[in-house]
Every structure is written in C-alpha cells, then in structure tokens.
Amino acid sequence: MFFLSRQTVHRNRSLYAGSFVALALGVFLLGLAATATAATVAYHGPAADTVVVKLPNADPPTTARVVLSGEDASGLQVVLSMVGVISGFITIFVIASTFAFAVASRRREVGLLRLIGATPRQIKRMVLGEALVVALAASITGAILAQLATPLVLAKASYSELAPVKLEPANPWVPLAIAVTAGLVVAMLGARSAARRAGRIGAVDALREAALEPPRIGPVRVVFGVLVLAGSIVLLALIRPGTGEAIFPLAMFTPMLLVVALTLLAPLVVPLIGRLWAIPLVAWTSVSGRLARSNVVAAPRRSASLAAPILGISAIAGSMVLTLSFAADASTATIRETVLAPIVVTAADDSPDLRERILSTPGVAVADGAIPLSLIRTDRDTADLEDAEGIDPAITTRTRTITPLTGDLGKLTGKTVAISKEVAGFGNYHVGDKIAVTFADRTSDQLEVVAIVKDALDVNPSLFVPTELARQHAPAATPTRWFILPAEGVDAAALTKTLDERLAGTGADAVPAEEWEQAQSEGMRKANQLGLILLLGPAALYSAIAIANILLMGSLQRRHEFVTARLLGATPAQIRRMVLWESSLVGAVALSLGTAITLTVGLLIRHAMTVGLTDVPITVPWVTLLSIGTICLLLAIGAALLPTAVILRHTRPSAALQS
C-alpha cells in the first residue's frame, strides 16, 4: 500500500506540490525558531556578570544562574517562543486545510477505487501513506533549510536590543528533530479526517460526491466546533482589568482559539455570510455574481478551505496590532498621570556631579533623583532579576504619583521594600511578608513588604527600597533621570532653560515633562513595530504563500468545470468575472470574520488596560489593518485569476467531452 501511495503522489505531483510547499515552509519556520531558541538557551553569559542563587524551597533544592546586567538573550528567547507558537499554529491550520483540500479533490478517483473493490481500510491507508510520503520529503527539506539559515539569523540577532550578546549555533539535532516530528504529526493529523471520510463512504456515494459536496457536515465536527467556541468565550471572559502581563498571552491565544472554532464551523458559517455579502454583488453584477454566490454556497467545504488561511492571519495579526497599539495608548496615559513634575532631566550614567548642579540651580524646589539598581527576587523555585529604585518617599511622592493600595510608604526605611501590584500578584505577597533578595554586590537579605503600590510601567519600577539601602549595595550608582519641581512662583519653561545651561557638558538634558512623555510614547510604538515584524513577519509571509497555494490548487482542479461552462455558452470573460467575484466573496467572508475577532479582542483588551485611567488617547493603526486586509484580498483574487486565465487559454469547449 505504501508503494501505491508513493506512485499516487508521483502521479498527482501538481496536486500535492502545494501541500509539500506549505509543510516545508512550516517546518522551516518551526525549525528556525527551535534552533535559534536552542542558541539562546545555550548562552549563559560571562561568569563575572552572573550570580548563582540558591533556591532552597524548590523540590529538590537547586540553584539558578542570573545575569545581573540584563545583557542576555532572554528577550530574544521570549520572542522566539512566541514566534514558534504563532508559526506552529498557522502551520497546523494551513496544513490541515491543504491536505484536506488535496484529498477532497480526488473524490472521483476514490470512487473508482471503491467500485473496483478497494476496501475502506485500504482507502484510508492509501491516503495516510500519501500524506506520509509528502510529509517526510517536506519535513526533511524544511529542517535542512532551517539549519542553513540559523547562522544568518543568529548573526543578525546578535548585539540587537533583544539579544545584546554574541550568539552561536547550538547542537541542532534536538530542535530539528522536534520540528521534523511536528511536521510529520501535523501532516498525518491533517490527512486523518479526510482519509476517514474517504474510507467510510460507499462507491456510489463517492461518485456522487465528486459532483456535489454533501450539504451537511458531520456531528463530531459540529460538537468540537461548539466546544472550542465555548473555550474561546472563557478566554474572552478572562480579559478583564487586573490581568497584568497575562493580557498579552490572552491577546495571542484567544484569536487562535476563535479561529479554530470558526474554521470547524466554517461550512455552516461561510455560506451564511457569503449570502449576505452576495446581496449587493448580485444586484450589481447579475449573472456572474449569481454564479459566484452559487459556487460559494454549493461547495461549503471548498469555500471554507479557501477562507481558512485568510481568516487565520487577519484575525491573529489584527488582534496583535490593536493590542500593541492600545498598550501604547495606555502607557502614554499612565505616564501622563504618574509624572507630576513639569520638568524631566535625563542623564548619562557617568554624571557624578549632576546632583550638586541640579540642587544648586535657583528655582528648584524638589529634585527627585532615584538611585537605580537591580536585584534578584527569589520566590520559591524561581529567581527573577527585578528593576528597583532607591527613593526618599517624602520627595518622590511630590514629583510622581505613587499610590499605595495597601500599607504605608512612610515606613520605607531600613530593610524594607514597596512592591508593585503586579509583583505582589506574581508572588502572592502581602504587607508584612518577607521577600528574599540578592543584590548586585552578591549579598543576600530579607526585605519586609511595607506597601503595595499601583502599577505605573515606564515611570516606576517594580520595587522601591530606601535610599540608604540602595547606596549601601550600589554605592557607585547615579540617577539616570530626575523629576524636577519648581519653587512656588518660578516659571517651569524658564527653569528648564536655566537647567539646560547649567547642565551643559554633563551629557544631561532638561526637557518639559510633556516632551519627555511624547518621546517615551514614540519609543514604545517603535519597539512595538519591531515586535510585530518579528512576531508576525514569518507567519504573515507563510500565510501569504498558503493563501496563494490553496487558491492555486483550487483553481487548477476546476478545469472540467470551466470547459463545461464554455460548452454551455459562457465566454472566457464571463468565467473570469465569475472567478473574480467568487474569490472576492470568499475573501470578504474571511476578512469579515477576522475583523469581528479583531474588534472583539481589541475592545476587551483596551477596556482591561485603561480602567482607572483618564484622558486615554485612541490610536488605531488604520494603515496597518487596511494593508493586512488589502493584501489578503489581492492575494486571493490574483491566485484565483492567474490559473483560470491559463486554463482558459489552453482549453476549448470540446475538451469537456474528453473528461
């Protein structure tokens, strides 16, 4: 049977070429993410810059190595993990649709095999064997390409913002084996449902199915679709205020689950929405629009397979774009509400006499120059590097909004610490608890929590310690920013100019708080753009190829349909218009569902991020969102029209009699 499968794949090279390309690219992306992640895991940093922390509460007790400077590859490792998740999801999504479409396109052949005595078990084994042949070749090809590209990717990623270190390729066998195994599993799962359906039907039903798809989908698919949809609703309910950093994983996984649910139910959903979109189309185009509507409605499985990759990338990309944009809006509002001082001085790390210059400037009432330091927070079986500041609460609370949710900042003296709400949630800390910490000078201590304060990322750190404690463990540290409060009656603009003159030659810069806030916001949006490119770039490219791939496969299988239409009197121009409206209709349906997911997730994310904030700007990246939709639609139309034009150019109406 495997020999027969291999011969079948060889005979249907054009049909399975799309599956091969889709799976090879998917394994390539997964393999590249896996090998690059292995390189980040293998990097440990210079021994002089790391601290070994004991984790006595771990089971069994162990130690953890932490890079104090933060110059490690953890940022790239997180991004690569997310890239792997998104790429893996898109791969599973596309491969399942591609293999199902390829098998469904051979209904007539399956029917003939059943007529000459092939058993359902033999049909199933043949289809699974074909999937295995294609999967083996594609997975090995993708793994080889990933191994060849890994050094180039690591060279580009080294000394970047995400990995300010030199990364070298690690042992590739384990990550590539994982990628190849994933490719094989995905291919077999993608072909399994189609193989079972092909093996279960009778010979007469198989021949009938070659002409017309069944009007209903199986109850198992409906049940799973409803269950996944229910799970998606649960995730949507979890997107609420107070979620913290978990908001970003929810923004990524919730659209994925919604896409899976809608894909399972697509043969029911796509025709319904297709009819709605077809109302103005039929009124405008008459015959060609009616034919397009009939094709979409009469072939729900084919329409669902064509819509699947467009739905997947539009929903996931749109949700991530809106999430990051709304996160920047929330951060801008947080900075605006947290900074009370009208002047901000940004300083270089090596400005030891800056304090004296600022404090001696006439008109300065309060100068909040916190001492930055890093410390390792040990919690049960984890050790996390945290940013902290040494502050005098009496000064800092006048220049910044530091709202204690519980506790008292006035008690921040001695061996104490004030923590953000987010850290308190991670470690389940309460006022009065002790936190085990290790400072940069490699001394360990226990700090008592005296207050839990409201989160204010980009302005306030995760931890506040007394100024004396910070100087004790980081005596050489100097403030890198100062929040300046003018004396009563002193004009802030005039004081800003005076400070700029007095700080000349120190590398420090005094600017109005509004200007500093704007710079912070622009920097965050640029970082978000880079993150989007890294997260969605590979998946978007793969999805674009998949959209074109599936539509090409679909159009190339419709030769008999086109020449029959020619025999009935349709002109090539009419057939091209029909294909144009049909592909546009499928694309519109997929983009409508993707837009609905994007809006639902985006609005919930915005509400969760902005509760408690006032004057929050609304920045919707229309250009990016419209570009995603336009590119998907153009790919769908182009990939459908190109093979149609080729088929019509090389066929005559008489060819219908030869099929």
- 567-587 tens-digit pLDDT: 777 788 888 888 889 889 989
Per-residue confidence (pLDDT) for residue 595, from 0 to 100: 94
- pLDDT by residue (tens digit) across 170-207? 888 888 888 888 888 877 877 777 677 666 666 665 55
Which residue has better confidence, 614 or 397?
397
- Give the β-pairing of 444-453 and 416-420: parallel
- Whether 414 shows a pLDDT value over 60: the answer reads yes
Whether residue 463 has pLDDT greater than 90: yes
pLDDT in tens, 324-364: 899 889 888 889 889 999 999 988 765 667 888 888 889 99
Identify the weakest region by mean pLDDT among 471-475, 609-613, 623-627: 609-613
Instruction: Yes or no: say if 355 and 570 are a contact pair by the CB < 8 Å rule.
Output: no
Residue type, 621: P
Please give the mean pLDDT across all residues of the chain: 82
At residue 471, the pLDDT reads: 92
| 187 and 99 Cβ atoms separated by less than 8 Å | yes
Say what the pLDDT of residue 508 is. 84
Between 102 and 406, the more confident residue is 406
Burial degree of 295 (CB within 10 A; 0-12, 13-18, 19+) = buried
Q: What is the distance between the alpha carbons of residues 250 and 231, in angstroms, rounded to a whole number?
A: 12
Span 386-390, mean pLDDT?
Answer: 91
275: tokens are 């009819």
How far is it, in rounded angstroms, from Cα 123 to Cα 50? 60
d(CA 511, CA 507) in angstroms, rounded, equals 13
What pLDDT shows up at residue 172?
84
pLDDT of residue 210: 45
Residue 372 and residue 465 in contact, taking contact as beta carbons nearer than 8 Å = no
Measured between its terminal Cα atoms, the distance across the chain in Å is: 27
User: Of the ranges 136-150, 413-427, 610-624, which one carries the lowest mean pLDDT score?
Assistant: 610-624
**The predicted structure's pLDDT at residue 659:** 47
Q: Collapsing DSSP states into helix, strand and coil, what is residue 419?
A: strand
Contact 409, 450 (CB under 8 A): yes
User: Residue 657: is it exposed, middle or buried by C-beta count within 10 angstroms (0-12/13-18/19+)?
Assistant: exposed
Radius of gyration of the chain (CA): 30
The tens digit of pLDDT for each residue in 95-154 reads 776 766 666 666 667 777 777 777 878 878 887 888 888 888 889 999 999 899 888 888
SS3 content of the chain, % helix, strand, coil (to 5): 65, 10, 20
With CA atoms as reference, report the closest residue to 245 among 426, 77, 117.
426
Residue type (1 letter), 296: V
The highest-confidence range among 152-161, 439-448, 545-554, by mean pLDDT, is: 439-448
Q: What's the number of CA atoms in the CB half-sphere (13 Å) around residue 596?
A: 10
CA–CA separation, 216 and 209 (whole Å): 12
Token look-up 């226990």 returns 446
Q: Above 60 in pLDDT, residue 212?
A: no
| Joined tokens for residue 308 | 């699947």
Percent of the chain with pLDDT over 90: 21
Strand ranges, E, within 508-563: 509-512
Is 496 exposed, middle or buried (CB count within 10 Å of its CB: 0-12, 13-18, 19+)? buried
Tell the residue number behind the tokens 């100019």, with chain if given: 497
For residue 514, the model assigns a pLDDT of 92
Q: Quick one: residue 212, left, alpha or beta (phi over 0 = left, psi -120 to 50 = alpha)?
A: beta
Q: Which helix (H) or strand (E) holds 44?
A: none
Token output for 487: 């004396």
Sign of the torsion angle spanned by Cα atoms 47, 50, 56, 62? negative
Give the model's pLDDT for residue 626: 92
Q: Taking residues 76-87, what's their average pLDDT?
A: 76
Assess contact for 337 and 610: CB atoms under 8 A: no
What pLDDT shows up at residue 291?
83
Its pTM stands at: 0.79
27 vs 59: which has the higher pLDDT: 27
Instruction: For residue 49, give Cα distances in angstroms to 52, 67, 473.
Output: 10, 6, 16
